[in-house]
Structure 1
Amino acid sequence: MEFRTTKVKDIKVSSLTYSSLLQIGDAKQIDSKLDALAVQKEGGADSDKGFELERYPIFDTTINPFPDPETVEGIHCHHRKDISIPTIDVTAISSSSIVQLGSTDSIQSLARQKHIRIIQSENKERL
């Protein structure tokens, strides 16, 4: 692979959260992992007790990696030695996502999320 220099005049990222990465420059390897439990309770929650990650099997599940893809040989003609970009505008990077300006040999990213909604029954609301 022929490496090229990336030139960016301006970059704006409004939000970067939850195990996400804005990588400027080259990296050998990037690993990003997020385990998130989101609980919404109608009427509000008093505490997070009883909502430990260990209670939910999704967070203990072993993820089998994808097999290595077949090698595809090709000829590329780069008309310039660099990649020039005037502006990059990113609204949000979240949940183990990666924005990379440069080269990376290996990227592994994993996000496991469990959403729970607790809704009061109609009978309780009438009382």
Structure 2
Amino acid sequence: MAKRTSHVQSLTNISVDTSSVIQIGDSKVLDAVSNVLAVQREKAIFYENEFLFRDYFTFCEPIDVPVITEPLEITTCHETSAICVNKVRVNFLAASSVLHVGSNESICLGSRVKNIRHIMKDADKNQK
């Protein structure tokens, strides 16, 4: 990996979500994983240990990493030893995302989200 100096004049960011990275400068490995279990209920009553990641296939299923079978040939030309960026403006970095200015050898990102909505039946709503 070529070592470079990274210069960023201005960076504006409004929000960074869980397991996200803002990296200015070189990094050898970036690894960001986010598991989100989002539960929405009309009546906000929750019990301890009611929702566990292990109870949902979404979080237990292994992720198949693609295997590269064809040979890769990469030619790079670094005319200077610096990466210069004038302005970066990012409104939001979602779960397990990366804003990276610099060299990197390896990156692995993953995000799994399970949304659950419990909506009350009309009969249950009338009993409120």
Q: TM-score, normalised by structure 1?
A: 0.83
1:64 & 1:114 partners in 2: Cα distance?
19
What residue is the counterpart of 1:61 in the other structure? Answer: 61
What is the aligned partner in structure 1 of residue 20 from structure 2?
A: 20
**What is the TM-score when the length of structure 2 is the normalising length?**
0.82
Helix, strand or coil at the partner of 1:115: strand
Aligned to 1:88: 88
Report the Cα offset of residue 35 of structure 1.
1.1
Can you give the 5+ residue segments of structure 1 that lack an aligned partner in the other structure? Answer: none
Distance 2:68 2:122 in 1: 52
Q: RMSD between aligned alpha carbons? A: 2.3
Shift of 1:73: 4.0
Which aligned pairs between 1:1-127 and structure 2 lie closer than 5 A?
Answer: 5-47=5-47, 49-68=49-68, 70-73=70-73, 81=80, 82-127=82-127
Identical columns (%): 31
Aligned length: 126
Q: How much has 1:88 moved relative to structure 2? A: 0.6
Q: Give CA deviations for 1:45-65 in whole Å, capped at 9, x if unaligned.
A: 334541111111111111110
Q: Structure 2: which 5+ residue stretches go unaligned?
A: none
Higher fraction of strand: 2
